[in-house]
Amino acid sequence: LIIDASGNSSRSIPDTLFGIFFEEINHAGAGGLWSELVSNRGFEAGGPNTPSNIDPWSIIGNESSIIVSTDRSSCFIRNEVALRMEALCDAEDSNICPAGGVGIYNPGYWGMNIEQGKTYKVVLHVRTLESLNLSVSLRSSDGLQDLATANVIGDASDFSNWTKVELMLEAKGTDHKSRLQLTTMRKAVIWFDQVSAMPSDTYNGHGFRKELVSMLADLKPRFIRFPGGCFVEGEWLRNAFRWRETIGPWEERPGHFGDVWKYWTDDGLGYFEFLQLAEDLGALPIWVINNGVSHNDQVHPSTVLPFVQDILDSIEFARGGADSKWGSVRAEMGHPEPFQLTHIAIGNEDCGKKHYLGNYLKFYYAIRDAYPDIKIISNCDGSSRQLDHPADLYDFHIYTSANNMFSMAHQFDRTKRSNSGPKAFVSEYAVTGRDAGRGSFLASLAEAGFLVGLERNSDVVEMASYAPLFVNDNDHRWDPDAIVFNSWQQYGTPSYWVQQFFKESSGATLLPATVHANSSISVVVSAITWQSSESDNYYLRTKIVNFGSNIVNLTISITGLDSNYIKSVGSIKTVLTSSNLMDANSFQEPNKVAPVQSMFENAGTDMVVELSPRSFTALDILL
Ligand code: AHR
């Protein structure tokens, strides 16, 4: 391997090369990244008509002691359904009334994580024409153990109009599968709506689950593509993501049924929150919009203009001044400063659909006119032929076997170079199927090879992100994923760890690196120089994927660098390998397949490095 460190042929890697792609799939957001513990908080999940489906809310009591139904009496006009609960018994009627009274409970998303000593903010909207004696409690999964309780008491007149009740509950015990209960010991008719429970310590106080965001922050993502792929399209347009419905006070959001991944979301994690998350991560938001095309229906270009205006409004919401129509809504939500929205992806995997291009052009010219600096991303693949329409970037998605993915390290070697043509946004890639299972070492090794290829081709590839990002272990709609979690634990799959090897690459300098070896050796290599933001140290990092099953002794020569520039101590070797190709991580063994670091002692301008079979190695030489 010869690395040319002279600087003569080096070039800058785009600042945005590696980022993340968040999709509301696998309960990634609802019941995941978004810390809301109550599922179906407004009783809307069955749709706007009553009687409505209140799942997963359940009833405490039986037909002699309680009647629960829904009606449209809510005080919130965009989500009118409320729950009506009629307690038929007083606690004294011990042969009808359960001890502890009657009521309803919400188990959250496969149980709420309640931890001793932590506080939880519970908010509910309540109305009754009678005196109120309501117990609001966090309880163990079987309802037997009380973890925290508050009582809401009032006279007949106190709650005769809808009243917002806010409580801080401190947990005196821990249960990772707890539930929230609303119970009464008195005969009464009580209406409930918009019931929320959130841990009080969320990431930056912005409502995101801390440990999950920390795992994202550890990847140093330069962008976040959101809110999804198919999720944006919908099976039908009526179920597609509509940003307007996801902004403003949480109580007023109608929520929607994502019909591709087949679950309801209350849209607590809405358009504003995605922009906020991007800002918190120091990542550029990449807003994927629906351009009037779903999986099964499409708007004709002649009638798509209202959709175009809708998206222009969304851009004003993100970027407009606090005195603009939509910017003022953002300001009211607590963010008077504009968000830095610079990229819009028009549609997802829709190229070739009947009205995609016609609609695309309407969106393209309207956005370009109003916001000339915004980079626009087309769904059509420009890697092997020139696009027949204007675009700044084109989407490239690849889900394939391990061998194929590894060979695709060379996919963009063949792409025509031009100064003005659109660059590639590899916005979804992953090894899938038998080679990957739920996240194997083999899959990650092949992806490492692919990413090395992207880095080498970063003159024509501007951005790349793995997909999907998250899976709630209770809802594997799509495997594999980068991060697996349940209500209280999380771990990275090997694919997550591979991404860690690239987190210093965005904005770094790429050096020419050429392997001279016989073709039976499956090795791909890239070399960069980068500066640590923590220590200011400069490193020359060589990343080497040995996809073969033999040890490789690699002779590395660094030309154009005086060996005196290499510090005698401080170089580091990081290796990702595993004894079995299908090895995976789990809650029990979260770091079974994870990078291992050691001091790299023989760093120099001429060195021999032994690469284990099936391994990914990074050598950071301290300069
Ligand atoms: O990443 C999962 C899905 O794969 C995305 O929603 C879609 O864009 C692709 O088909």
* Ligand 1 nearest-atom number relative to CA 260: 6
DSSP character at residue 230: H
Tell whether ligand 1 has an atom less than 6 A from the beta carbon of residue 481: no
Q: What share of the chain is helix, strand, coil (3-state, %, to 5)?
A: 20, 35, 50
State pTM to two decimals: 0.97
Q: How far is CA 53 from CA 57, 190, 262, in A?
A: 9, 18, 15
Q: What is the DSSP letter of 14?
A: P
The model's pLDDT over 374-387, given as tens digits with 9 standing for 90+, comes to: 999 999 999 888 99
List, as one string, the DSSP characters of 290-354.
--SB-SS-B--GGG-HHHHHHHHHHHHHHHS-TTSHHHHHHHHTT--SPP---EEEE-SS-TTST
273 CA to middle of ligand 1, Å? 21
Residue 228 C-alpha to ligand 1 middle, in angstroms? 8
Containing 448, the helix (H) or strand (E) segment is helix 441-456
- Residue 518: per-residue pLDDT: 78
Whether the CB of 267 sits within 6 Å of ligand 1: no
Range of weakest confidence among 76-80, 273-277, 582-586: 76-80
**Radius of gyration from C-alpha coordinates of the chain:** 27
Do 459 and 511 contact (CB within 8 A), yes or no? no
Q: Can you give the pLDDT at residue 46? A: 82
Sign of the dihedral through C-alpha 511, 515, 516, 519: negative
* 228 Cα nearest atom in ligand 1: 6
CA-wise closest residue to 261 among 233, 229, 231: 231
Distance CA 513, CA 5 (A): 9
Q: Is the CB of 227 under 6 A from ligand 1?
A: no
Mean pLDDT calculated for residue range 361-367: 98
58-81 pLDDT, tens digit each: 999 999 999 999 999 999 999 999
Give the separation between CA 5 and CA 562, rounded to whole angstroms: 10
Q: Is the dihedral of CA 261, 140, 55, 257 positive or negative?
A: negative
Question: Given the structure tokens 């539930």, which residue do they identify?
Answer: 179
Question: How many CB atoms within 10 Å of residue 312?
Answer: 17
- Coil/strand/helix, residue 403: helix
Give Cα 443 to chain centroid, integer Å. Answer: 20
Percent of all residues in the chain with a pLDDT value above 70, rounded to a whole number: 100
Take residue 2 and report the two structure tokens written for it: 């010869």
**Separation of 400 CA from ligand 1 center, angstroms?**
13
Predicted confidence at residue 325, as pLDDT, reads 98
ipTM, two decimals, is 0.99
Average pLDDT over residues 27-51: 93
> Token pair for residue 262?
């087949």
The values of phi and psi at residue 589, to 5°, are -130, 75
Is the pLDDT at 418 greater than 90, yes or no?
no
The confidence score (pLDDT) of residue 553 equals: 94
Query: What's the confidence (pLDDT) of residue 549?
Result: 95
pLDDT tens string 152-169: 999 989 999 999 999 999
How many angstroms from the chain centroid is the CA of residue 491? 14
pLDDT at 600: 96
Which of 299, 395, 287, 424 shows the shortest CA–CA distance to 353? Answer: 299
- The encoded tokens of residue 298 equal 């499409």
What's the 157 CA to ligand 1 centre distance in angstroms? 52
The pLDDT of 282-311, averaged and rounded, is 98
Q: Say how many Å lie between the CA of residue 330 and the centre of ligand 1.
A: 29
Please, which residues have CB within 8 angstroms of residue 601's CB and are 6 or more apart in sequence?
A: 571
CA–centroid distance, residue 207 to ligand 1 (Å): 26
Question: And the tokens for 133?
Answer: 């004696």
| Percent of the chain residues past pLDDT 90, beyond the cut | 94
Q: Whose CA is nearest to atom 7 of ligand 1?
A: 229
**CA 430 to ligand 1: nearest atom:** 1
Token representation of residue 140: 């163990």
Q: Is 471 in the pocket of ligand 1 (CB under 6 A)?
A: no
Q: pLDDT (tens digit, 9 = 90+) per residue, 177-210?
A: 999 999 999 999 999 999 999 999 999 999 999 9
pLDDT at 546: 97
| Lowest pLDDT segment from 88-102, 142-156, 173-187, 480-494 | 88-102
Q: Which of 270, 281, 296 is closest to 204 using CA atoms?
A: 281
Q: Residue 409, SS3?
A: helix
Q: Which residue has the higher pLDDT, 13 or 50?
A: 13
pLDDT attached to residue 50: 77
Helix ranges restricted to H, 464-538: 494-500
What is the 229 CA–ligand 1 centroid distance (Å)?
A: 5
Answer yes or no: is pLDDT of 360 > 80. Answer: yes
Task: Output the pLDDT for position 440.
Answer: 98
Residue 7, sorted as left (phi over 0), alpha (psi -120 to 50) or beta, turns out to be left
Maximum alpha-carbon separation in the chain: 90
Protein residue with its CA nearest to atom 5 in ligand 1: 229
The ligand 1 atom at the shortest distance from the C-alpha of residue 399 is 4
CA of 28 to the centre of ligand 1 (A): 13
Residue bearing tokens 């995609």 = 356
Residues whose CB falls within 8 Å of the CB of residue 287, separated by 6 or more in sequence, listed in order: 226, 271, 274, 314, 318, 341, 343, 344, 345
The DSSP letter of residue 203 is B
Candidates 21, 295, 399: which one to mutate for ligand 1, based on the most atoms within 8 Å of Cβ? 399
606-611 vs 615-622, strand pairing mode: unpaired
Contact 24, 580 (CB under 8 A): no
| 432 Cβ closer than 6 Å to some ligand 1 atom | no
CB contact at 8 A, 30 and 265: yes
Q: Is the pLDDT of residue 94 over 80?
A: no
State pLDDT tens for residues 597-606.
999 998 999 9
Residue with tokens 């080498």: 456
Please state the rounded mean pLDDT for residues 418-425.
Answer: 89
Q: CA-to-CA distance for 393 and 379, rounded, in angstroms?
A: 9
> How would you classify residue 217: left for phi > 0, otherwise alpha for psi between -120 and 50, otherwise beta?
alpha
Mean pLDDT of the region 510-529: 91
Angstrom distance (rounded) from CA 258 to CA 256: 6
Phi first, then psi: give them for residue 369, nearest 5 degrees. Answer: -65, -50
Measure the CA–CA gap between 226 and 208, rounded to whole angstroms. 15
Which of 23, 288, 294, 465 gets mutated to test ligand 1 (max ligand atoms within 8 A of its CB)? Answer: 23
Q: How many CB atoms lie within 10 A of CB 162?
A: 17
